[in-house]
Amino acid sequence: MFLSVVLPMTFVVLSWGLASSIEVLSLRTLTPVEFTFFSSLLGMFGAMLISAFNGRNKKATAVCKHFYARTFLLSMLGFAGYFLLKYTAYALSPVPQANVIHYSFTIFIVLFASPLLGQRIGPAKLTGVVIGFAGVAVVMSDAGSFGGFRAAHLPGYFFALGAGISFALFSVLMEKWQLDRLRSLVFLHGFSAAVLGIFLIATGGIQFPDSSAEILGAAYNGIVANALGMYFWLYAQSKCRDVSILTGVLYFIPFISLFFLRLLLAFPVPAATYTGLAFIVSGMLVHTVRSRMKKNR
């Protein structure tokens, strides 16, 4: 349990927690499409290195029935689409709030796991989902009340919710289809880089980063957060019987993200953001604790 779940999830929490600050720095000069393209491209090479290190480099190019079609769909959901939605949310709304809202994918995973994985949504899970969405609504407000929404920020917040939905579908379908982690990570990054690269060429060409900071930002996001982080996240998922329980651990990430955004970039974090995040975490704890109590009987 410690080696198969705790250690991988610790790496995921820390690497994804720092990613938002690095993304914001890189997005000051690169567009969301450009940054996602370079991150995906470098992530593909990172995934190839991970595969080679694990002695699976030859199998990384092997295919099975429906592999390409499923991997392409997953790439659009969990990489190209997810990051474009998230980065657009960063551009249209305050970063700390958008960052927390996009972690609503932990709520959507619980919902999608029912029809797609056959996991039952009992009263405890349903209560947790309701509390979680109430927390999202509080974060979206500027005064910490349901009447404090600012119309100018709402488009960005909805993009953040879209990112949450996209990544939730990716996570649940990845678990449902049981694609090989090492093999699929190469193609997940590759398809994303290919589609975005074609789009950039068709709309004026690929502009390469001008500074080492941009390159390092794309390298961190692509290799550390995406390739290594995604590998360990999917690995931990495969070792956990109830994927909705594992998602509760992910709520450490927005706390760490807010800490780094405040410490490194001096972003103001409204009290409503902390309040809403507390609601979200409490909602996830309701069904997590309840599920563990049932297993211990």
Cα(12)–Cα(1) distance, integer angstroms:
16
Residue 243 confidence (pLDDT): 63
Of the listed ranges 24-28, 57-61, 167-171, 203-207, the one predicted with least confidence: 57-61
Radius of gyration of the chain (CA): 19
Give me 67's structure tokens: 């592999």
Helix axes 7-26, 95-102, angle to 10 degrees: 140
Q: Which tens digit of pLDDT belongs to each residue from 249-282?
A: 777 788 899 999 999 999 988 888 888 888 887 7
| Alpha helices per DSSP H over the chain | 7-26, 32-53, 67-75, 81-92, 95-102, 105-117, 123-140, 154-177, 181-202, 212-219, 229-239, 243-246, 252-265, 271-295
This prediction's pTM: 0.84
Q: Which tens digit of pLDDT belongs to each residue from 9-40?
A: 888 889 989 999 999 988 888 889 999 999 99
Look at the alpha carbons of 178, 182, 184, 185 in this order and tell me if their dihedral is positive or negative.
positive
Using DSSP's 3-state secondary structure scheme, residue 31 falls into: coil
Cα(235)–Cα(247) distance, integer angstroms:
13
Residues 233-243, mean pLDDT to the nearest whole number: 73
